[in-house]
């Protein structure tokens, strides 16, 4: 087991920002939620927490959360810096050949949420794992590819602005520009798919970037020194960048990432952070979650199992329902693919 995979110890925090999400099919809310008419305002500051309680990040002491009006540079996998903006040339992921393959919602591993509005219905006969297929292991190197586009029928018609939430302390400036954000970390491989649309009419946004970050399989965040709020473990991962990345959407508003299932840490349920920017300005920042039953099943596999049981579920997490969010708004739709990879997706609607 690498130093990166050592068991993390305790920390907790509240984080997130303003976000617009398309509700799952069957969600009751279809109008604007209160207090969300100004989602293009600058990001609010975090609740007094510094980036890593005084520890330097990426060579800079006590780096502050990024300014909403400033687009940070992104690094490609060669370490080169490149500007990411509406007209940037960041590499984008395809819709996996535009296969038009649907997802059998009845076989989704996400028991707590219906498929997103606009996610494909029906089954292509090979996109969903059959009975007895085990979860994949070994990180993203075991992914076979060919994953269908879960948004083949569009984004639907109901777009709801998500309540304003807080950013959190574990963001890192200058995320790498790449599709595979795992940086070789072990764990259950996960395909993340996003469709970015405008709330008014749910039309695709073609000049947006999507930035994601989450804890690695050991429950710690890269880019932070040991003993800090984001890395309470024993391994100094200040120079690492696993489970972080940014890309520019394609002309259909689509983007895909490859990563690993996040590890748990004290006080929080399993979640993934994201920010959507248009023209360098934050339009939506929040967190997305996995169904508790799916998380329990995933954490019982391979390396995750050695870390023991987590202490916080969605129902116990103080951020999960913050601002009045419903589970359908913040839960990924998911399915197990034939290669044992977890495929999770969400429509992100911005003002």
Q: Given a cut of 60, is residue 115 above it in pLDDT? A: no
Average pLDDT of span 278-307: 93
- Supply the pLDDT for residue 130: 93
Which range, of 25-34, 68-77, 129-138, 206-215, averages the lowest pLDDT?
A: 25-34
Structure tokens at 13: 């925090």
- Supply the pLDDT for residue 127: 87
CB burial class (10 A; 0-12, 13-18, 19+) of residue 78? exposed
DSSP string, 58-126: TTBTTPPPPPTT-PPEEE-TTS-EEE-STT-------SGGG------GGG-S-TTSPPBTT---S--SS
CB 171 within 8 A of CB 323: no
Q: Given a cut of 80, is residue 108 above it in pLDDT? A: no
Q: Which helix (H) or strand (E) covers residue 293, if one does?
A: helix 292-299
- Supply the pLDDT for residue 164: 56
Average pLDDT of span 209-219: 96
Nearest to 193 by CA among 75, 334, 295: 334
Structure tokens at 316: 């116990």
Q: How far apart are CA 118 and CA 153, in angstroms?
A: 5
Nearest to 148 by CA among 350, 351, 333: 333
Q: How far is CA 132 from the centre of its chain?
A: 27
Structure tokens at 95: 């819709």
More confident residue, 318 or 76: 318
Percent of the chain with pLDDT over 70: 61
Average pLDDT of span 310-320: 94
Q: How far apart are CA 208 and CA 290, in angstroms?
A: 24
Q: How far apart are CA 137 and CA 349, in angstroms?
A: 32
**Mean pLDDT value across the chain:** 71
- Supply the pLDDT for residue 206: 94
pLDDT in tens, 5-58: 443 333 333 333 333 333 333 333 333 222 233 333 334 334 333 333 333 333
Q: Given a cut of 50, is residue 112 above it in pLDDT? A: no
Structure tokens at 269: 């349920």
Q: How far apart are CA 122 and CA 347, in angstroms?
A: 18
- Supply the pLDDT for residue 158: 60
Domains and CATH numbers, the chain: 1-351 (2.60.130.10)
- Supply the pLDDT for residue 324: 76
């Amino acid at each position: 087991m690498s130093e990166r995979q050592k068991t993390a110890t305790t920390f907790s925090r509240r984080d997130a920002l303003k976000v617009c999400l398309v509700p799952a099919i069957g969600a009751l809310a279809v109008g604007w939620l209160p207090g969300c008419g100004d989602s293009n305002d600058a990001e609010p500051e975090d609740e007094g927490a510094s980036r890593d309680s005084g520890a330097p990040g990426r060579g800079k002491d006590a780096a502050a959360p990024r300014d909403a009006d400033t687009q940070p540079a992104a690094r490609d996998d060669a370490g080169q810096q490149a500007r990411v903006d509406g007209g940037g040339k960041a590499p984008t992921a395809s819709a996996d050949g535009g296969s038009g393959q649907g997802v059998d919602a009845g076989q989704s591993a996400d028991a707590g949420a219906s498929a997103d509005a606009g996610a494909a219905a029906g089954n292509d006969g090979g996109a969903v794992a059959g009975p007895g297929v085990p979860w994949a292991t070994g990180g993203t190197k075991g992914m076979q590819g060919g994953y269908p586009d879960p948004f083949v029928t569009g984004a639907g018609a109901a777009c709801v602005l998500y309540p304003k939430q807080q950013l959190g302390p574990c963001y890192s400036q200058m995320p790498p520009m790449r599709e595979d954000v795992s940086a070789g970390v072990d764990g259950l491989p996960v395909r993340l798919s996003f469709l970015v649309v405008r709330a008014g009419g749910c039309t695709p946004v073609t000049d947006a970037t999507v930035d994601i970050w989450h804890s690695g399989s050991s429950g710690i965040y890269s880019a932070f020194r040991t003993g800090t709020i984001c890395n309470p473990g024993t391994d100094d991962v200040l120079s690492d960048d696993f489970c972080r990345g940014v890309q520019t959407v394609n002309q259909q508003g689509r983007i895909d990432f490859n990563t690993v299932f996040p590890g748990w840490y004290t006080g929080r349920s399993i979640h993934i952070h994201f920010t959507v920017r248009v023209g360098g300005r934050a339009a939506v920042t929040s967190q997305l979650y996995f169904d508790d039953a799916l998380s329990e099943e995933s954490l019982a596999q391979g390396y995750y199992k050695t870390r023991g049981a987590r202490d916080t579920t969605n129902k116990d997490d103080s951020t999960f329902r913050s601002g009045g969010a419903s589970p359908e708004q913040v839960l990924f739709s998911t399915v197990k693919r034939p290669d044992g990879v977890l495929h999770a997706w969400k429509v992100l609607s911005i003002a």
